[in-house]
Structure 1
Amino acid sequence: MAAPVRQRVTDPGGPVLALCLGRRCSALRELSGTSGTVEALREAVARTRGAVLVTAGCLGPCALAAVGAVAHRDGESGCSGRTVWLAGVHEGERADALAGWIGAGGPAPDEDPDAGLPVPLVPAVAGLGPPMRLGG
């Protein structure tokens, strides 16, 4: 009997979403009745090939309401590209648009991270930042 052929599984890369779950961002979700948006974003990441969700106790820019940062992650190196920071992602329309964008693959490789943003996320752009530090 022949031995089974093993196929090499490669990481396709994809969007990486850093989502603030700090006290203020969580409270904003509770107060606005959108606490379910976190689960919806988790599900969008889980359904998207190569997507990664990073949650943090506090990402820092509390004056911007609930924040998230999105970048494209290279599958081979595991490094991300530049990051787009989004404010107010506790709002239902923005959270839905973010989940849809992640589900569609998020930022494209080798483009500005805010290229191709869904219309509801355009006013949410709080700035562009350096690549995320993933791993050690």
Structure 2
Amino acid sequence: MDWKPPPRSGKDPDGPVLVWCAGHRCAALRRLSGGQDHDEQIRATIRQTSGGVLIESRCLGRCELAGVAAVARRDGRSGRIGPLAWFTGLENGTRFAALRRWIASGGPREADIPNQGAPPILEDAACGVTPPPQVRRG
């Protein structure tokens, strides 16, 4: 039996998408910097953010950039996810806190400009923009 997503009600809020690396290197760097609970803190932030979506990966394959994550904007009506803005060095407590505050405030405001409104401290952590994630269901 093929899985089909539930019909959209049109009331699904827009919100930030966070692609979070939970791979060995990123997790180890966070632990070494005293951020043992970064994974749970980021999950809690997404749960409390209107329209927030978390895509957690065992490894994003960019270990040279660890601790890495990407941010995008999702349109609630269409489900479309915009391009991803990538950030590195998120094991740093100050950068991590800035990322959480930005996500909690709604993240990027426009899907096509994923780093729009990023806190200044994350500008130094920016390491590129890539196409939207390919999400496969089932």
TM normalised by structure 1 equals 0.89
| Contact 2:19–2:70, Cα closer than 8 Å, also in 1 | yes
Query: Per the alignment, in what secondary structure is the counterpart of residue 71 of structure 1?
Result: strand
Query: Which of structures 1 and 2 has the bigger CA Rg?
Result: 1
RMSD of aligned C-alpha atoms?
A: 1.3
| 1:42-61 alignment runs, 5 A limit | 42-61=43-62
Shift of 1:36: 1.6
Shift of 1:110: 4.2
1:24 matched to 2:32? The reply is: no
Structure 2 portions without partners, runs of 5+:
1-8
| Contact 1:37–1:96, Cα closer than 8 Å, also in 2 | no
**Residues in 2 aligned to 1:116 and 1:101: alpha-carbon distance in whole angstroms:** 8
Specify the alignment match of 1:128 in structure 2: 129
**Residues in 1 aligned to 2:76 and 2:48: alpha-carbon distance in whole angstroms:** 17
**Residues in 1 aligned to 2:10 and 2:47: alpha-carbon distance in whole angstroms:** 18
**Residues in 2 aligned to 1:57 and 1:39: alpha-carbon distance in whole angstroms:** 15
Shift of 1:134: 2.5
**Residues in 1 aligned to 2:129 and 2:12: alpha-carbon distance in whole angstroms:** 25
Following TM superposition, where does structure 1 have runs of at least 4 consecutive aligned residues deviating by more than 3 angstroms? none
TM normalised by structure 2 equals 0.88
Q: Percent identity?
A: 44
Q: When the two structures are aligned, how many residues end up with a matched partner? A: 129
Specify the alignment match of 2:120 in structure 1: 119
**Residues in 1 aligned to 2:130 and 2:79: alpha-carbon distance in whole angstroms:** 18
The one-letter amino acid paired with 2:50 is R
The one-letter amino acid paired with 1:123 is D
Shift of 1:9: 6.5
